[in-house]
């Protein structure tokens, strides 16, 4: 017997119209009435299951030389366009995961395809410099024109890196440098410090730590992995420093109906964080800084309130430690602001903000007082890639020209209200709708249901992602528009009706 989903795919069931509550309202609709990229498909088109035969064949070939069982399918990047990713079997899917939230303005955007048209831009690609020792003559100006034009308010120092993990690793170094500089009271390194650090012993290798939070994800290199607490498979069998971890708030939804309980949760978590910091010196491993995501993305799309983030900043100031906000997944506009922490009404800018993904280059912004006082301390061969700044420059100009932050806010309102509507009609399957901009998520009642919903969404031509125990996470590009939201909401409704 064909199941309900099969009936929907064949079109044998009557069409159920979406409720007016999820329709685009004139007040929220953007002025853009056409796709931002000409030629984008008008909707998903599915030719076979995903992964299809071509993807399976390519994975079998890849598996002969590389263990990468995480591959979902192989993409055809010549045919992918705008909000649609096309796989090698010809399936055109609305992409709401976008390479784990790292595609800023869609596939094959003309502004990016033309970014290397000039001979000078091509030479940047061909002659990749070791930027820490041999930068090009225009490098400082490029950093000002591109990186600092997008900098979080209050931060005027920037160092580019290759990825989010190495951005956080080097941010941790700045935390430790500050602490040790304060301890030394301005004196130079002693001979004992210089000799002992070469064999990873004190005093040259001090026992210091960074405070992180349950559910956080900050990377897969050693120090970043020590601060990661989302899935066991990331960490098991890897020797890591025994750094402290505290609780990130877990709210009850809807927020407006649980104000008192959620305020108590903020207070509880802030008290735990302060206790860990205050006691760290007595425990023989002083905490030099705190790392926190504006939204715990990999760990389940857990949000924190303004009070939570403001309170953390006040605690860091009280104990004179570094406040690092990891914007690797939230930075670059998906919450409707360039940086998610801009929503938090902080009394001052964070001390460090790390980034990657939609920014196309990794790196860290920081305050001037955190500049290392000696050369070679924040360094690697490449220290970023000037070619990525050429692409980012095109992205930032497109965001401004097309008001993509405004589009993200407007479309995000539609997406969030549609998810809330579905939650109200399918409470047995869905709960805890939350989001900022199009950076949205909703929980299923079980992890097995979430996995089933994602698989069936993909069979209907929508590629979304999961995170945490049972969350569906949505990470579309900044060119994701109201009608794309309606396509997704209708497909999700179809899947829920077939449960």
Task: Cite the active site residues.
Answer: 217, 326, 357, 381
Evaluate the omega torsion of the peptide bond into residue 51 and state whether it is cis, within 30 degrees of 0.
Answer: yes
Go through 151-181 and write b for each residue having 16 or more CB atoms within 10 A of its CB, e for each that does not.
bbeebebbbbbbbbbbbbbbbbbbbbbbbbe
Alpha helices for 185-305 (secondary structure H):
191-196, 222-226, 259-280
Residues sharing a CB contact under 8 Å with residue 184, sequence separation 6 or more, in sequence order: none
Evaluate the omega torsion of the peptide bond into residue 254 and state whether it is cis, within 30 degrees of 0.
Answer: yes
Whether 461 contacts 95, CB under 8 Å = no
Signed CA dihedral, 84, 87, 88, 89: sign only: negative
Q: What are phi and psi of 354, to 5 degrees?
A: -100, 155
Residues sharing a CB contact under 8 Å with residue 469, sequence separation 6 or more, in sequence order: 300, 447
| Residue 189 CA from chain centroid, whole number | 38
Whether 229 contacts 299, CB under 8 Å = yes
Complete DSSP assignment for 276-292? HHHHHTTTT--EEEEEE
Whether 433 contacts 452, CB under 8 Å = no
Distance CA 496, CA 489 (A): 10
The CA-based angle 115-119-122, given to 5 degrees, is: 60
């Amino acid at each position: 017997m064909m199941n309900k989903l099969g009936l929907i795919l064949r079109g044998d069931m009557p069409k159920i119209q979406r409720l007016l509550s999820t329709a685009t309202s004139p007040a929220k609709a953007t002025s853009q009435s056409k796709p931002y990229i000409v030629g984008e498909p008008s909707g998903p088109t599915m030719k076979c299951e995903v992964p299809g035969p071509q993807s399976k064949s390519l994975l079998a070939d890849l598996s002969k030389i590389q263990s990468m069982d995480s591959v979902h399918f192989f993409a055809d990047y010549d045919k992918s366009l705008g909000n649609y990713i096309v796989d090698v079997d010809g399936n055109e899917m609305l992409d709401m995961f976008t390479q784990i939230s790292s595609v800023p303005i869609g596939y094959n955007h003309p502004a990016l395809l033309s970014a290397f048209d000039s001979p000078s831009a091509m030479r940047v690609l061909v002659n990749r410099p070791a930027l820490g020792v041999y930068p090009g003559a225009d490098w400082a100006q490029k950093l000002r024109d591109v990186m600092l034009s997008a900098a979080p308010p209050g931060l005027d120092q920037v160092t580019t890196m290759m990825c989010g993990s190495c951005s956080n690793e080097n941010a941790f170094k700045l935390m430790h440098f500050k602490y040790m500089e304060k301890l030394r009271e301005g004196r130079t390194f002693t001979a004992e410090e210089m000799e002992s650090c070469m064999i990873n012993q004190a005093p040259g290798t001090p026992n210091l730590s960074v405070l992180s939070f349950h559910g956080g994800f900050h990377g897969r290199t050693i120090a970043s992995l020590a601060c990661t607490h989302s899935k066991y498979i990331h960490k098991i069998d890897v020797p890591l420093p025994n750094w402290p971890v505290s609780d990130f708030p877990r709210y009850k939804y809807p927020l407006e109906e649980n104000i008192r309980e959620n305020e108590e949760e903020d207070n509880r978590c802030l008290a735990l964080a302060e206790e860990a910091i205050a006691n760290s010196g007595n425990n023989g491993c002083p905490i030099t800084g705190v790392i926190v995501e504006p939204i715990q993305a990999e760990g389940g799309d857990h949000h924190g309130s303004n009070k939570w983030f403001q309170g953390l900043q006040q605690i860091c100031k009280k104990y004179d430690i570094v406040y690092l906000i990891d914007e690797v997944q939230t930075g670059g506009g998906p919450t409707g602001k360039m940086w998610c922490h801009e929503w938090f009404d902080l009394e001052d800018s964070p001390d460090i903000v790390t980034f990657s993904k939609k920014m196309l280059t990794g790196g860290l912004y920081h305050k001037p007082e955190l500049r290392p006082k000696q050369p070679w301390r924040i360094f690697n061969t490449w220290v970023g890639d000037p070619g990525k700044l050429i692409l980012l420059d095109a992205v930032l100009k497109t965001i401004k020209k097309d008001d993509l932050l405004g589009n993200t806010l407007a479309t995000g309102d539609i997406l969030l209200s549609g998810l809330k509507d579905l939650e109200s009609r399918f409470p047995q399957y869905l709960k805890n709708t939350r989001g900022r901009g199009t950076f949205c998520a909703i929980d299923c009642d079980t992890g097995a249901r979430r996995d089933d919903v994602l698989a069936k969404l993909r069979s209907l031509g929508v590629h979304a992602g999961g995170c945490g125990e049972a969350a569906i996470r949505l990470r579309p590009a900044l060119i994701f528009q109201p009608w794309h939201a309606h396509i997704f909401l209708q497909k999700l409704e179809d899947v829920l009706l077939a449960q």
